[in-house]
Amino acid sequence: MSRRAVGSTRRNGSFPFSGAFNSKSKSSPLLPIGLVVVGAILLIGYVYKGSGVLGGAKVVSRVDGDFSCTLEVQRAIPFLKKAYSGSMHRVLHIGPDTCSVVSALLKDEEIEAWGVEPYEIEDADRTCRSLVRKGIVRVADIKFHLPYKAKSFSLVIVSDALDYLSPKYLNRTLPELARVSSDGLVIFSGFPGQQKAKVSELSKFGRPAKMRSSSWWIRYFVQTSLEENEAANKKFEQATSKESYQPSCQVFHLNSYH
Ligand SMILES: *[C@@H]1O[C@H](CO)[C@@H](O)[C@H](O)[C@H]1NC(C)=O
């Protein structure tokens, strides 16, 4: 949290003024004035940011690398429910921060939900620890065989996870996702140009995320014999356009293997 706070103050314009601190030894009488000026700028920046005048948090979070398709999954739940009306009863979500998605899904009485967290869970809150304890959320490396029987879930949703896999591992993981689903597979992936992993996170993810274009993905799906779920895609598009909701991630709807 503190790291993010530092990052965002920089972008509010205080960064160019950090020179005021460096000039301390030369011109110490100026320092208090400098501090007041910096303080005033920070305050103004804060107020403006709060009121959304500086363009809103969205831009900031993208620059920050905090941009997340897992968050997008949560926003998309109502639309997914419309697209997969009869197939949302046993849902598996795979991706970082899966506890947040599973918790959101479980709020709906008609949905049973499970989660796979592909990376270590850092600072899990009480809810998340409880989901892990109950076996609802598991930590598992998705590069390998998933610990579920074929067609265990009606729908499998994956976000922010495939972007980190090279084609070699995707070749194994994508068929696995299709294998454990019965009625469909939904993939949320970043648009090219959306940078996600911070340098500090590279050790966690193993490699930087590679945001592929939709044509890359479609070619890839064809290669791995995965077909578009046209009916679901159409219903999802209809539901989202009616509410003028624009997902900020690419969303692919695929059929499970028959
Ligand atoms: C992945 O699988 C496809 C289809 O079986 C194959 O054409 C391709 O060469 C594989 N790629 C890698 C990196 O193994």
Please give the average pLDDT of every successive group of 10 residues along the chain, which has 258 residues. 36 38 48 55 46 37 58 95 93 96 96 93 88 95 92 96 91 93 96 64 66 93 93 96 93 92
Please tell me whether residues 84 and 40 are part of one structural domain: no
Please tell me whether residues 170 and 87 are part of one structural domain: yes
Question: Do 119 and 96 touch, CB atoms closer than 8 A?
Answer: yes
Q: Which residues pair with 93 in a beta bridge?
A: 115, 157
Please tell me whether residues 42 and 82 are part of one structural domain: no
Domain carrying residue 11 = 2-64
User: Is 225 near ligand 1, meaning CB less than 6 Å away?
Assistant: no
* Ligand 1 centroid – CA 135 distance (Å): 33
User: Is 175 near ligand 1, meaning CB less than 6 Å away?
Assistant: no
For residue 70, give the nearest of 180, 188, 153 by alpha carbon: 188
Please tell me whether residues 16 and 46 are part of one structural domain: yes
Nearest CA, atom 7, ligand 1: 223
- Tally of CA atoms within 13 A in the half-sphere of 9 that contains its CB: 15
Please tell me whether residues 92 and 147 are part of one structural domain: yes
Predicted local distance difference test score (pLDDT) of residue 11 = 38
User: Is 168 near ligand 1, meaning CB less than 6 Å away?
Assistant: yes
* Ligand 1 centroid – CA 55 distance (Å): 43
Alpha helices in the chain (DSSP H): 2-9, 19-22, 30-51, 57-64, 69-83, 98-106, 126-133, 167-179, 202-205, 214-223, 230-242
Please tell me whether residues 88 and 47 are part of one structural domain: no
Q: Report the distance separating Cα 204 and Cα 121, nearest Å.
A: 10
Please tell me whether residues 159 and 48 are part of one structural domain: no
Q: Report the distance separating Cα 101 and Cα 96, nearest Å.
A: 10
Three-state secondary-structure class, residue 181:
strand
Predicted local distance difference test score (pLDDT) of residue 16 = 39
Amino acid at 96: P
Q: Report the distance separating Cα 93 and Cα 99, nearest Å.
A: 9
* Ligand 1 centroid – CA 5 distance (Å): 43
Predicted local distance difference test score (pLDDT) of residue 198 = 53
Please tell me whether residues 36 and 157 are part of one structural domain: no
H or E stretch covering 153: none
* Ligand 1 centroid – CA 92 distance (Å): 26
Please tell me whether residues 30 and 84 are part of one structural domain: no
Ligand 1 atom at minimum distance from 170 CA: 1
Last residue of a domain, one of 42, 64, 86: 64
- Tally of CA atoms within 13 A in the half-sphere of 158 that contains its CB: 24
Nearest CA, atom 2, ligand 1: 171
Radius of gyration of the chain (CA): 22
Ligand 1 atom at minimum distance from 171 CA: 1
Tokens 């709807």 — which residue? 253
Residue 227: Cβ within 10 Å count: 14
* Ligand 1 centroid – CA 7 distance (Å): 40
* Ligand 1 centroid – CA 36 distance (Å): 61
Q: Which residues pair with 115 in a beta bridge?
A: 93, 137
Please tell me whether residues 89 and 47 are part of one structural domain: no
Amino acid at 91: V
DSSP state of 11: I
Q: In this structure, what CATH number is given to the domain that contains residue 205?
A: 3.40.50.150
H or E stretch covering 66: none
Task: Count structural domains, the chain.
Answer: 2
Three-state secondary-structure class, residue 178:
helix
Q: Report the distance separating Cα 204 and Cα 64, nearest Å.
A: 17
Last residue of a domain, one of 15, 34, 64: 64
Please tell me whether residues 138 and 117 are part of one structural domain: yes
User: Is 171 near ligand 1, meaning CB less than 6 Å away?
Assistant: yes
Please tell me whether residues 19 and 78 are part of one structural domain: no
H or E stretch covering 138: strand 137-139
Last residue of a domain, one of 14, 48, 64: 64
